[in-house]
Amino acid sequence: MPYSPRMPHILIVDDEPDLAGLLAYNLGRAGFSTTQVHTGEEALARVREAPPDLLLLDLMLPDMDGAALYRELRADPTTSHLRVLVISARPDAHSRISGVEVILKPFKVQDVVARVTALLRAP
């Protein structure tokens, strides 16, 4: 779904196009606009070009570790404020990144939509 200034914008970063598409479809139905990217480098470029309201980040990306991408964004004052929800198949995801919400794969898409909604409502 294309970006609209009236809709919160979610950047989905996942190397599985089918899963990213499923998330985008369901988030769109819930009233969010989305952009999908499949690598860490694409994510960095998109975030710097147009920071999203929330980053939905998989930890296992083909070109870089999602945890390293998260740390790079946190270290940059222009992106350190971004809200992030991590999705990962790694059971150790909570220990790899502290202070961030994590949903483990497999998950129910409704749970991801609910978490995204809650994170965007939080102050």
- Residue 117's CATH number: 3.40.50.2300
Q: What is the pLDDT of residues 13-68, one digit of tens each?
A: 999 999 999 999 999 999 999 999 999 999 999 999 999 999 999 999 999 999 99
Query: Is residue 54 situated within a structural domain?
Result: yes
Q: Give pLDDT tens digits for 89-100.
A: 988 887 788 889
Domains in the chain, number: 1
Domain containing 92 equals 9-121
Distances, alpha carbon 16 to alpha carbons 8, 58, 100, 103, 107, in Å: 23, 9, 22, 16, 14
Inside any domain, residue 4: no
Confirm whether 3 is domain-assigned: no
Residue 70 lies in a domain: yes
Q: Two tokens at 87?
A: 């999705």
Sorting pLDDT into bands at 50, 70 and 90, what band is 88?
Answer: very high
Residue 1 lies inside a defined structural domain of this protein: no
pTM of the full structure: 0.92
